Chain A
């Protein structure tokens, strides 16, 4: 379905570059387990009329938080957010939001959902019904006015989300991963239609801010890409200007070049990179619980990736692999980080390479791979701390709370849970220690003590 194009465009979008949104020295921190933990730090960003800006980053980089700060939904810890030069004191009057999960009210029809923003402004019922009808037409939803959201497909639901935001004609349209809950085809279609509309000059907003974790989406849509880093915490790592004409051709060399550059910035690795399997010992020594976060990857997940790479000859292009699996590159990032951390694989350019240990791990039978995994995992700071703690205690048990306190200095309580969850999964598989969820205790794995890491499980 194509979005309609209205015959005349009365007030075509003026690309006058007026400064609409500005953040100055924006910092945002959340209460951690025992101190404030920053998620955004020193963000200076300007959004001008006529541009599409993408905020790009891995999960945990604070990109959604930044969007919400700019929308006035979340207070900044320090620094200011201003709209047209006036600092915000509440919800930003010049923005409207499109949500990842659509946020449609299931008890209202499409028409009623679209009218919400105007109703809030006190617009007369007849006038707002007419405005909503126009927006519904523009976004390609005509015929669905009286439907309830649960009758619609995901793509149609998000169209309602767009119509609802556009009908209030905000200066800046805020989009929080608007396509990530949709299937690939639907997302592609909707993205294309939206950009067509933007280019046609009929778009009722003057700028767009888009949050995404999808590099290709950012390069396809944005005039500027703001890459946020995740560790130590959300700072602007780099800003890319995308000067390509629309509609953009994915296969053009210029397009691919930008993708490559953004990708390298995002993963924080230079093209030459370090040679896999040859991590400097100094770095190993310097690893601490604080600077070596365990990725959220299960043993099964990282083994699966290792085997896939093995079947492709021990070396493969990550983007290609993700494509084959029907995933985004960043869906694989936790597993890639895990393999890298364990010394099972390394990144060279855009390729993932298995090391010798990694190859051995992927080819071994269950018991041998456990032994190899145990050896690699026991070098990781958190796993090491837990292993040593349970071994040094006479009764062989340590409360999880002990490690929680230890981690609390460096992580939010949510991250602490994640760290412990991964450490528990890895340690259990490696038979370095066991964990009892009831009393929340780590204890020595007695089966492992008698039979070694390769001992059979009960």
Chain B
């Protein structure tokens, strides 16, 4: 018999179906429609300001009247989402290339690992100079630089996650795709992207949270002797700080908090709840992500209607996507050809790298001599000490609290969203308050800098410890109760091994974040006072401000080296230990 007949059943014509939908519209639909229209309007209004021209001769002046705050907030938000969109596109291209090409993989993945450890903030000025030159006389250059800074804080995590899900696609799904002759386009959109969706959404959310920090840092920049400022919450706060106006700083902090919580509630919660449908395991999970907003949207008829309207476009794209060919792997591999290709690729890639290194070496040698690395190496020790103390203190303080919270379902329900918001709240926003406090109490910035770095970094430790404690099975705790294992013995035998894997994950993030934060935390300003600590972060910040490129490069290289070697020699080992010994 044959399934394919060419007599399609008759269907109601399109307008009739449309009318049918409209007549059944509910108040839910009206609310959703209004929300979409408002969102479009705001985006247009805010987006128009992006291309406003300015002249570099006049120093940027930020209007600090409170009425400007909503507009500034919207501009900041737009920047964040544009960066997120860019990160997503980058993720698709980069991760796909690395997963699909054996040769590219060997270059792209280690490169990603390094990029992840590079202190992004140090490059801000370089990026600003470049982008401003690209769009002379327009705000677009500054806008691009800011978006670029946020992008660099988001992209790597998402890319790693997606690359991982591409390479660990379940074998039967790969075979399904090839056995049924899927096109490459279909394989990506129907198999690979959905399979990686959960990881992508969760990593996107985490990275987005980290991005606020860079948003604040990148909106107001001093370059050489010019002040650049973009309308935004960050620059608003910057101006308020410069004026020493604590009330306005408070307003900015409040606005920031509203934005962080609002985006979480209206965007990320619904998205993570929606991503539930991409779970690979075929049984219903016990704990499901829920979102009020998503439930609301699902009750309205708009999603289905929009889906139906976009359907023809999707079909057309699918047809167009056929040009990428069929997902198939040749059964016969020419070993000779492959080998030759490998050698050629290695020569070209290696040659480019060597050429770049030689060029960089010569540049540094011509300008300052290679001795330029000496100072940052020593200063790095000071910053390293700060990071080490910070991680140790944060561990001693937050691990017991995290365990307490994680063991109590009631506390977890209350604390987890709060900690999530605290972790995304840009710590550099609170710096002025801390500095004001340092000035009043006379606390040295060498010590105080540590608190500033901890302000952002510590939450990762708390957050992950809670998750780890929650993962300890209840019957293990009951068994310990039953055996009378209490106090230190309980910590040593159950709790520490139990939370260790999650703790290590938090520790890596916290330590990396602290290094990056040192660039803005070791030099701080409030009103007319500037406090400077001894450390690599301050060194880089100073090189940035003076436009001293050899020192900037040396500082960045040394800091990257510190972060990479710390990861390799400490965190990775702990991670492996956690995976082999302490996984539950």
Tell me whether B462 is interfacial, beta carbon within 8 Å.
no
- A126 and B326 alpha carbons, distance in the complex (Å): 22
Nearest chain B CB to A445 CB, angstrom units: 22
- What residues on A are CB-neighbors of B580 within 8 Å? 437
Nearest chain A CB to B226 CB, angstrom units: 51
Of A14-22, A129-137, A272-280, the one with at least 4 CB within 8 A of chain B: A129-137
- A127 and B186 alpha carbons, distance in the complex (Å): 18
Tell me whether B315 is interfacial, beta carbon within 8 Å.
yes
Q: A105-B190, A120-B186 are in contact. Are A73 and B179 (CB under 8 A)?
A: yes
Q: Which of B173, B186, B190, B284 contacts A150 (CB 8 A)?
A: B284
- What residues on A are CB-neighbors of B176 within 8 Å? 97, 99, 103, 105, 116
- What residues on B are CB-neighbors of A10 within 8 Å? 1-2
Interface pair A131/B179, CB less than 8 Å apart: no
Q: How large is the interface on B (under 10, 10 to 19, 20 to 34, 35 or more residues)?
A: 35 or more
- For window 270-299 of B, CB contacts with A under 8 Å fall at 277-280, 282-284
- A68 and B318 alpha carbons, distance in the complex (Å): 28
- What residues on B are CB-neighbors of A117 within 8 Å? 180-181
Interface pair B322/A122, CB less than 8 Å apart: yes
Interface pair A127/B6, CB less than 8 Å apart: yes
Tell me whether A72 is interfacial, beta carbon within 8 Å.
yes
Nearest chain A CB to B299 CB, angstrom units: 18
A121 and chain B: residue at smallest CB distance: B181
Tell me whether B178 is interfacial, beta carbon within 8 Å.
yes
Q: A131-B3, A132-B3 are in contact. Are A91 and B277 (CB under 8 A)?
A: no
Interface pair B278/A107, CB less than 8 Å apart: yes
Nearest chain A CB to B81 CB, angstrom units: 25
- What residues on B are CB-neighbors of A91 within 8 Å? 178-179, 181, 328
Interface pair B4/A131, CB less than 8 Å apart: yes
- A164 and B177 alpha carbons, distance in the complex (Å): 12
Nearest chain A CB to B308 CB, angstrom units: 13
Tell me whether A93 is interfacial, beta carbon within 8 Å.
yes
A112 and chain B: residue at smallest CB distance: B190
Tell me whether B493 is interfacial, beta carbon within 8 Å.
no
Of B20-28, B42-50, B329-337, B396-404, the one with at least 4 CB within 8 A of chain A: B329-337
Tell me whether A167 is interfacial, beta carbon within 8 Å.
yes
Interface pair A149/B315, CB less than 8 Å apart: no
- What residues on B are CB-neighbors of A92 within 8 Å? 179
- For window 171-193 of B, CB contacts with A under 8 Å fall at 172-173, 175-176, 178-183, 186, 190-191
Tell me whether B13 is interfacial, beta carbon within 8 Å.
no
- A131 and B332 alpha carbons, distance in the complex (Å): 35
- What residues on A are CB-neighbors of B183 within 8 Å? 120
What are the interface flags for B161-179 relative to A under an 8 Å C-beta threshold, 1 for contact and 0 otherwise? 0000000001011011011
- A105 and B319 alpha carbons, distance in the complex (Å): 21
Tell me whether A108 is interfacial, beta carbon within 8 Å.
yes
- A118 and B181 alpha carbons, distance in the complex (Å): 9
- What residues on B are CB-neighbors of A122 within 8 Å? 319, 322
Q: Which of A75, A95, A118, A202 contacts B1 (CB 8 A)?
A: A202
Interface pair B194/A107, CB less than 8 Å apart: yes
- What residues on B are CB-neighbors of A149 within 8 Å? 282
Interface pair B178/A73, CB less than 8 Å apart: yes
- A120 and B179 alpha carbons, distance in the complex (Å): 11
Tell me whether A96 is interfacial, beta carbon within 8 Å.
yes
- A149 and B186 alpha carbons, distance in the complex (Å): 19
Nearest chain A CB to B303 CB, angstrom units: 15
Interface pair A106/B282, CB less than 8 Å apart: yes
Tell me whether A119 is interfacial, beta carbon within 8 Å.
yes
Q: A89-B330, A117-B180, A204-B3 are in contact. Are A73 and B175 (CB under 8 A)?
A: yes
- A75 and B334 alpha carbons, distance in the complex (Å): 13
Interface pair A103/B322, CB less than 8 Å apart: no
Interface pair A119/B186, CB less than 8 Å apart: yes
- What residues on B are CB-neighbors of A129 within 8 Å? 8
Interface pair A103/B172, CB less than 8 Å apart: yes
Tell me whether B5 is interfacial, beta carbon within 8 Å.
yes
A-B contact pairs, 25 of them (CB 8 A): A6-B1, A9-B1, A10-B1, A11-B1, A75-B332, A90-B178, A91-B328, A102-B282, A103-B175, A105-B190, A105-B194, A116-B176, A117-B181, A119-B186, A119-B318, A120-B183, A120-B186, A130-B7, A130-B9, A131-B5, A134-B5, A135-B3, A138-B1, A169-B2, A169-B4
Residue ranges of A at the interface with B (Cβ–Cβ < 8 Å): 6, 9-11, 68, 71-73, 75-76, 88-93, 95-97, 99-108, 116-123, 125-132, 134-135, 138, 148-150, 157, 164, 166-169, 174, 202-204, 437-438
Beyond A148-B277, A168-B180, 7 additional contacts (C-beta under 8 Å) are A75-B331, A97-B179, A116-B190, A117-B181, A130-B3, A130-B7, A166-B3
